[in-house]
Structure 1
C-alpha cells in the first residue's frame, strides 16, 4: 500500500525535473536535445513551451591590439573600452507523443538546440573583431522506444533521427578608410546556411512503483559539409590599395564545413520518500569539434582545400571551444493532487580557452507544475545564475594565431531565465 501511494504522489514530478533549471551551457547551447516527453505515461500528449533567457555578459578593458592594420578596422582605441555582449532570446518547443500497444512510444518534436547571439555593437574597441554575430538552428525530430519487462521494472530501447537547419551571420569592422573617403561604412558581413541529418540512440530502465528511471542517450554529430553563403564587402572600398581590388567592394560567394557536436547524457531519478523525488544528470557535449571554421571563395572549391589560415581563406568563424560538461542535481515534491515543485542546482563548464567569453556558470532553478485536471498540466520554471569571470586575448592553435586583434576581460555576470509550457494529455 505504501508503495502504491508513493507512486501516485510523484507521477507529475517525473517530467518536471527537466524544467526546474533552464540550461546555460557553454558553446552554442540553447535548448539542447530533450526527449523527456517520450516517457510521458499517458497514451497521447501534446506539449508546447517557450524559454526566455536574459544573459548579462559585460565586456570591459577592451583594447584594439592591431591599431595600425589598414584592413583591421584602424585604431579603435578611442572608442569605448566596455560593451554589452549578450542579448535576450527565446526558445520555442513543440512535441507530440503517442503510445501504441503498451510497448511502443513515439515522439515528434520541434526544437532549437543550438544558437548564439552576441551584439557588442560598432562603438567599442573590439569592433574589428565583432559587431554582431548570430547563429540559429531549427531541429525536427522523430524518436521512438520499445519497452518490455525485465526484473522489477521495464527496459526501454530508444532510437530516432532528426533533420537540422542552421543559418547565421557575422559583421565586423574591416576598415575605417571607407568612412574617411566617403565610400562606405567599412563593415564586412558573412552570411551562412546549411542543413543536414543526425540520429540518436539510448537505453532506459524504469521502475514506476518507485518513480525510478535511469536513461543514457547519445545524440550524433550533425555534419554541415555544404555550408554556403556570401562575404559582403560592398561597404569596404576605397581609392587606394588594397581597398580598390577584389574581394573589396563586392559580394563573394563562399563555402565551408562544420559540425554540430555530438553529446552523451546520463539522467537519474528516484523516489526517496512518499511524494518526494531526487534527480540528477551528467552531460558531455563535444564542443571541441568547433574550432575555427574557414570560408573560402566558391571559385576555389575542388581546386584548393579550404583550411584555417590557408591561402584561399577569405574569412572565418573563430570559436576555439573545448568540450562541455553539465552536471545537475535537485529534488522535487508533490504538495497535493494539483501542485508539485522542484529545485535544482546546475554547473556548466565553460568552453572558452582564453579566447571568447564562455566561462563556467552556476545556476539555481525552481519549477512548479499545476494539474487542474487529469488531462491538462501547466508548468512554469525560473532560474538565476552566475557567469564567472575571465579574459580573452591571443591564442595560438596549430600554428595559427587567433585573438590578436582585440583583448578584453569580464567579471562575474548574472543570467536569468523563465520558461513555461502547457501539456494536454488524452
Structure 2
C-alpha cells in the first residue's frame, strides 16, 4: 500500500499551488481562504503571503485626446499598467470535538491595481480594487470505514474598497486627479463536500463560494478647474457644476462572482503525490461598474468589462525527499475572461515549492512561480475619445512564504 501522510501531502501542495491562485488570473482572482485545519486532527495556525509582479503593459495605444475642446489623434506605447501586489492569508482552527472541525480565516479573494501613464490618463489615471474576507467554516466528519466523508459549510463577511482617479489635464490643462473612493461590506457563504483516505493521502473536495452583491458608498474629491476650463471653452453648465465644489459623496453597485472548485490529490508511489484542480468562476456577472459622483449626480466614469466566465485548471506532483524536506511542481492554465474590452487573456503559471518540517508541529514553506501572459488586444471602445491597445506576450513572477504551527 502507498503511504504518504496527509501532513506531507497538504504541505507540499500548499507550497506550489498557492502560486497559481495568486497570479492575477481569472478576472480579478487573487487568493482563497486556507481551510487546511478542517482536515487536521489537531488545532493549528496557518499563515502566509504571496508577492506577485505581473509586469503587464500595452505595447501600443491608439485613440483620441482632447486639448482645448478640440479632438486630436495620438499614438502611444509602450505603457506599463500592471502594478505589483501582495496577498496575505491566515487561518486558525482544527478538530474541536470528535467529528467536528472549524476554521476561522482571513483572505483577500479579489483585487486589481493599475496605474496608467501618458495620454490615456484622460480616461482613467489609476484604479484599484481591494477585498478582505473574514470567514468561519466548519465540517462534520462521517466515518465510512476505509475513508471519511466531510460535510462543509460556513459564512464570511466580504469588505471591498474601490478607488479610481481621472486626470483632466489633457482636456482643460489642469493638474492633479479627481478621485473616488467607495467601500462596502456584505455577507456570503460556502458549502462543500470532501472525501479522504488519509493513509494513501487521498482527498477529493468540491467547494462552492457564493456570489456577493455590493452597494458601495464613499467620497468624491473633485479637482476644481473653473478658470482653466473657461479659458479652454468648456460649457457654462460644466463650469458651474464643477468649478468650485471640491468634495461630495459617491456611490456604485457591483456583484462579485460565485465559484465552484473541484480538487483531487492522491499518493501514486512511495513518497509521491499527484494533485489537480479545476475551478469555474462566474465572471460574466461583472459587466460594468459605473461610479456616480454627488456634485451633479452624474457618472464619474463607467468601467466596461463584459467578462466571460473563468476556468482555471491546475496539475502537479509532490515528493517527500526525507523526513523533513518535501517539494512540489505544478502547472496552471487560466482561460482569459476578456471579450475585447481589456487584455485579460490566457495565462500559464509554472510553480515550484519546498516544505520543511522542523518537527511534527512546526512547518515552513517557500515557493516561486513564472507567469506567462499571452498577448491580447483591447479592440472595443465606448466613445469617440476611448482608446484601443495591444498587450504583448509577457512574463511575470511570484514568490511566497508560509508557515503552520500545530498544538
TM-score by length of 2: 0.91
**Alpha-carbon contact 1:185-1:235 (below 8 Å) kept:** no
Q: What stretches of structure 1 move > 4 A for 4+ residues in a row?
A: 66-69, 297-301
Matching residue within 113, 122, 126 for 2:109:
113
**Alpha-carbon contact 2:147-2:198 (below 8 Å) kept:** yes
Verify: 1:244 aligned to 2:243, yes or no: no
* Equivalent residue number for residue 29 of structure 1: 29
Aligned residue runs from structure 1 range 290-309, under 5 A: 290-297=286-293
CA gap of 1:349–1:177, structure 2 versus 1, over 3 A, is closer
Alpha-carbon distance in structure 1 between the residues aligned to 2:290 and 2:83: 26
Moved more, 102-111 or 61-70: 61-70
Secondary structure of 1:90's counterpart equals strand
CA gap of 1:332–1:69, structure 2 versus 1, over 3 A, is farther
CA gap of 1:337–1:230, structure 2 versus 1, over 3 A, is same
Verify: 1:165 aligned to 2:162, yes or no: no
* Equivalent residue number for residue 99 of structure 1: 95
* Equivalent residue number for residue 388 of structure 2: 407
Verify: 1:264 aligned to 2:264, yes or no: no
> CA shift at 1:69, angstroms?
8.8
Alpha-carbon distance in structure 2 between the residues aligned to 1:165 and 1:292: 19
* Equivalent residue number for residue 46 of structure 1: 45
Aligned residue runs from structure 1 range 126-275, under 5 A: 126-179=120-173, 184-185=174-175, 187-224=177-214, 226-237=215-226, 238-239=229-230, 240-242=233-235, 243-247=238-242, 249-250=244-245, 251-275=247-271
* Equivalent residue number for residue 397 of structure 2: 416
Aligned length: 396
TM-score by length of 1: 0.87
Verify: 1:77 aligned to 2:59, yes or no: no
User: What do you get for the CA RMSD once the two structures are aligned?
Assistant: 2.3
> CA shift at 1:296, angstroms?
2.9
> CA shift at 1:177, angstroms?
4.5
* Equivalent residue number for residue 55 of structure 1: 54
Alpha-carbon distance in structure 1 between the residues aligned to 2:400 and 2:67: 47
> CA shift at 1:38, angstroms?
2.9
> CA shift at 1:230, angstroms?
3.2
> CA shift at 1:231, angstroms?
3.4
* Equivalent residue number for residue 371 of structure 1: 357
Alpha-carbon distance in structure 2 between the residues aligned to 1:369 and 1:82: 40
> CA shift at 1:327, angstroms?
0.1
**Alpha-carbon contact 1:288-1:323 (below 8 Å) kept:** yes
What 5-or-longer segments of structure 2 have no aligned partner? none
Moved more, 19-28 or 264-273: 19-28
> CA shift at 1:175, angstroms?
4.8
What 5-or-longer segments of structure 1 have no aligned partner? 302-311, 396-400
> CA shift at 1:186, angstroms?
6.2
CA gap of 1:99–1:415, structure 2 versus 1, over 3 A, is same
Secondary structure of 1:26's counterpart equals coil
